A = this chain, B = another copy of it.
Amino acid sequence: MRDVSIIGVGQTPVAEHWDRSIGDLAVEAIAAARQDAGVDRVDALFVGNMLSGELAGQENLATLVADDAALLPIEALKIEAACASGGAALRAAYLAVGSGVHDYALVVGVEKMTDHLTDGVTSALALAADADYEAAHGISFAALNALLMRRYMHEHGARHEDFAAFSVNAHANAALNPRAMYRQPITVEDFVRSPVVADPINILDSAGICDGAAALLVAPTSETRVRARHAPVRIAASATATDTLGLAERKDPLVWQAVADSARLAYAQARLKPRDIDLFELHDAFTIVSVLTLEACGFADRGSALKLAAEGRIGRTGDIPIGTLGGLKGRGHPVGASGAYQVVETVLQLRGEAGPAQVRGATIGMAQSVGGSGSVAVTHILQV
């Protein structure tokens, strides 16, 4: 297949956009990405979204966005893989452009969560869990992750406050990102005193509910060298893998197999190893997710990811910077949009356009979106 690159990126601020519709958000991000690329042509649109039907009263969302963004009559499809939907939409665009069927494909990840009360959102998010064996019993996503965190603390003799470094890092990075939702730095003491959501998970372990849209224009690498405004950021690898939907069905709940599998496939495609990755936009919906992800992706041995954080190695000047523009925790986690934000931020870093949050000398970045309790993972490795 053809080599594929990202040639334009755009995003709305992540916030509670009470005055904006889901279409408005998508249109703003798309316009920014097209402007950034300096290319007018668009052949297809892939929309990453999880909950437009439940929270915005709209299925057929890809057609709505194509219509609102004045892109009719192009092909438009919505891709859903729970919280990994944004990454999955890029995956679909990568296949469409790589195949030769389309030359310029837009990806937009968009989610509008704040038109509903938090109760409704918590129930909607539980749709990513196993309906019969998890959600029907009333367990929320925070509670599922709390089970994982408690088990991790038990197996590895960790204390809850050992997880603070992930949240502190996310807020420190978000403070440097003008589009992030939570721009206030926090301390370990703030973390420890934060109200409990689902014991042991507290508010500062958890990414917030919010709205946002992020867009990408992808094209064949060969063509972009001629026409686009920016040097292309190559998609060196793209991979998806799945694991059991229910946590209880896994041999070992602390092994995130889909995350490990999709990373392994991506490393193989890009012919890279974990040590080659300059920054990693991982799916830190909860601090425990960061820990399990770093261990699954080869950045830390089992039981040792907390040490990675304690030693400051996940910071912007560390050897494996994560969530460099705030991550899901600091930037905010508009679920179906987050995967697109992660890739937008990786592109900004690789272009050297991340402002005060810039990771110096970064040429290879990995962005990984996870859906459910690690039941689906989409990994992209980008390279300049």
A324 at the binding interface (Cβ < 8 Å) = no
Q: Provided the pairs A1-B100, A101-B95 are in contact, do residues A242 and B127 lie with their beta carbons within 8 angstroms?
A: no
Chain A contacts with B in 229-269, Cβ cutoff 8 A: 239-245, 249, 257-258, 261
In the complex, residue of chain B having the shortest beta-carbon distance to the beta carbon of A241 = B73
Distance of A376 from chain B, by nearest CB (Å): 5
Indicate if the CB atoms of B67 and A242 lie closer than 8 Å: yes
What residues of chain B lie closer than 8 Å to A258, measured between beta carbons? Answer: 73
Q: Which of A79-87, A184-192, A201-209 contacts B (4 or more CB under 8 A)?
A: A79-87
Indicate if the CB atoms of B53 and A245 lie closer than 8 Å: no
Please pick, from B51, B56, B100, the residue contacting A131 in the complex, using a CB distance under 8 A.
B56
A135 at the binding interface (Cβ < 8 Å) = yes
A245 to B68, CA, bound (A): 9
Indicate if the CB atoms of A245 and B60 lie closer than 8 Å: yes
What residues of chain B lie closer than 8 Å to A73, measured between beta carbons? Answer: 241-243, 257-258, 261
A360 to B128, CA, bound (A): 46
A50 at the binding interface (Cβ < 8 Å) = yes
Among A67, A129, A136, which residue has the most Cβ atoms of chain B within 10 A? A67
Please pick, from B91, B244, B261, the residue contacting A77 in the complex, using a CB distance under 8 A.
B91
Judged by DSSP, the binding face of A is mixed
A372 at the binding interface (Cβ < 8 Å) = yes
A92 to B44, CA, bound (A): 12
Distance of A241 from chain B, by nearest CB (Å): 5
A316 at the binding interface (Cβ < 8 Å) = no
Distance of A195 from chain B, by nearest CB (Å): 28
What residues of chain B lie closer than 8 Å to A35, measured between beta carbons? Answer: none
What residues of chain B lie closer than 8 Å to A76, measured between beta carbons? Answer: 81, 240, 242, 376
What residues of chain B lie closer than 8 Å to A99, measured between beta carbons? Answer: 1, 95-96, 98-100
What residues of chain B lie closer than 8 Å to A74, measured between beta carbons? Answer: 241-242
What residues of chain B lie closer than 8 Å to A317, measured between beta carbons? Answer: none
Indicate if the CB atoms of B82 and A80 lie closer than 8 Å: no
Mask of A48-88 contacts with B, CB within 8 angstroms, 1/0: 00110110111111111011000111111111111000001
A130 at the binding interface (Cβ < 8 Å) = yes
What residues of chain B lie closer than 8 Å to A332, measured between beta carbons? Answer: none
Please pick, from B72, B96, B239, the residue contacting A244 in the complex, using a CB distance under 8 A.
B72
A326 at the binding interface (Cβ < 8 Å) = no
Chain A contacts with B in 86-140, Cβ cutoff 8 A: 88, 91-92, 95-96, 98-101, 124, 127-132, 135-136
Distance of A118 from chain B, by nearest CB (Å): 18
What residues of chain B lie closer than 8 Å to A249, measured between beta carbons? Answer: 67
In the complex, residue of chain B having the shortest beta-carbon distance to the beta carbon of A244 = B67
Indicate if the CB atoms of B66 and A242 lie closer than 8 Å: yes
A50 to B77, CA, bound (A): 12
| Smallest CB-CB A-B distances: 6 pairs | A99-B99, A60-B82, A75-B240, A59-B127, A58-B131, A78-B80
List 15 A-B pairs, Cβ < 8 Å: A1-B100, A59-B80, A59-B128, A60-B245, A60-B371, A62-B80, A62-B242, A63-B245, A64-B245, A67-B242, A67-B249, A75-B91, A76-B242, A77-B92, A98-B101
Given A61-B80, A72-B243, 19 additional A-B pairs, CB 8 A = A1-B101, A51-B53, A53-B124, A56-B131, A59-B80, A60-B81, A60-B245, A62-B376, A63-B82, A63-B375, A67-B375, A73-B241, A75-B242, A76-B81, A78-B79, A79-B80, A95-B96, A95-B101, A98-B101
- A residues whose Cβ falls under 8 Å from a Cβ of B: 1, 21, 44, 50-51, 53-54, 56-64, 66-67, 71-82, 88, 91-92, 95-96, 98-101, 124, 127-132, 135-136, 239-245, 249, 257-258, 261, 371-372, 375-376
